[in-house]
């Protein structure tokens, strides 16, 4: 028979695994959505029909994988938490990685301020989030 200490320890371990899985899901979601947007932008700039369709297919496949990862996130997070976290991470990925690093687009001070606000919102939602079934 296990005592209360073993039960608490097991429960904390389970919640740690869930939290780590959710972090991985959020990062994978942001990565796939960012890559999908990069491919769609490349499709829009493609010179020929063949490259247009190749980049369209790649962007849509990456987007589909991102949605599948998001569905996994919804298994443990309620929608009101998963939605802002995932969308905020996607905005940060597209703004910071795709726009700045890949396409070298101009980034204005107002856009930088918006990214800071979005990041702050993602952090606030993430800090207050509890996996489904955990007491509030």
Any domain includes 86: yes
Higher per-residue pLDDT: 135 or 115: 115
Q: What is the rounded (10 degree) CA torsion for 73, 119, 16, 9?
A: -130
Q: What is the mean pLDDT of the chain?
A: 85
Any domain includes 68: yes
What is the tally of structural domains in the chain?
1
Name the 3-class secondary structure at 24.
helix
Considering only 5-19, 39-53, 81-95, 118-132, which range has the smallest mean pLDDT?
5-19
Any domain includes 116: yes
| Among the listed residues 90, 73, 91, the one whose alpha carbon sits nearest the alpha carbon of residue 82 | 73
Provide the residue range defining the domain that includes 109.
4-128
Any domain includes 136: no
The pTM for the full model equals: 0.78
C-alpha–C-alpha distance, residues 18 and 24, integer Å: 10
């Amino acid at each position: 028979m296990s005592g209360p200490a073993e039960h608490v320890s097991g429960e904390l371990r389970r919640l740690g695994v869930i939290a780590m899985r959710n972090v991985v899901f959020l990062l994978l979601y942001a990565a796939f959505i960012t890559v999908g947007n990069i491919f769609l932008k490349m499709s829009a700039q493609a010179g020929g029909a063949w490259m247009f369709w190749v980049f369209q297919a790649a962007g849509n496949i990456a987007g589909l994988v991102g949605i599948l990862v998001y569905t996994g996130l919804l298994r443990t997070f309620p929608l009101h938490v998963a939605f802002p976290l995932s969308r905020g991470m996607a905005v940060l990925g597209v703004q910071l990685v795709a726009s700045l690093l890949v396409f070298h687009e101009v980034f204005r001070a107002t856009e930088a301020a918006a990214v800071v606000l979005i990041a702050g919102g993602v952090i606030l939602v993430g800090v207050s989030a509890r996996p489904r079934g955990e007491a509030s």
